[in-house]
Amino acid sequence: MLDKWFEISCVLSLKFRVCKSNCMIIGRMYKTKISSMLIGNHVVKWCDCTKCLNGVYLVSNSDMKFDINTVKRCYRQHCAQRNAPIFKLPRGLF
């Protein structure tokens, strides 16, 4: 299937950025080791999770799962910064 995509993209003068592409398995066989996939002569790497939205990761598993821990961490950091003092008073002032 990737071969067909590659052929069509060559005809349409489109380029795949293999460095920004990943392969992932979702479903019962997500732990299966599969041979390398190629786009043209370039190997597409396999991964366990990939970023699909800003801070949201799609995780390889038996069913579709999303990891939002990055979003939670950024939210907590933002809240912690908002509660921080805007300026510091000199010591001994009060």
Domain boundaries, the chain: 2-83
Q: Which amino acid is at 16?
A: F
Whether the CB-CB separation of 29 and 42 falls below 8 Å is answered with no
Tell if the pTM clears 0.85, that is, is over it.
Answer: no
Q: Does residue 28 register a pLDDT over 80?
A: yes
Residue 34 has which token pair? 């599969």
In the prediction, which pLDDT does 94 show? 45
pLDDT reported for residue 92: 57
- pLDDT, tens digit, for every residue of 32-79? 888 888 888 888 888 888 887 777 788 888 877 878 787 777 777 777
- How much is the pLDDT for 93? 47
What distance in Å separates the CA atoms of residue 6 and residue 39, rounded to the nearest whole number? 6
Give the chain's count of helices (H) and strands (E): 2, 6
Q: Does residue 12 carry a pLDDT above 80?
A: yes
User: Averaged over 8-14, what is the pLDDT?
Assistant: 88
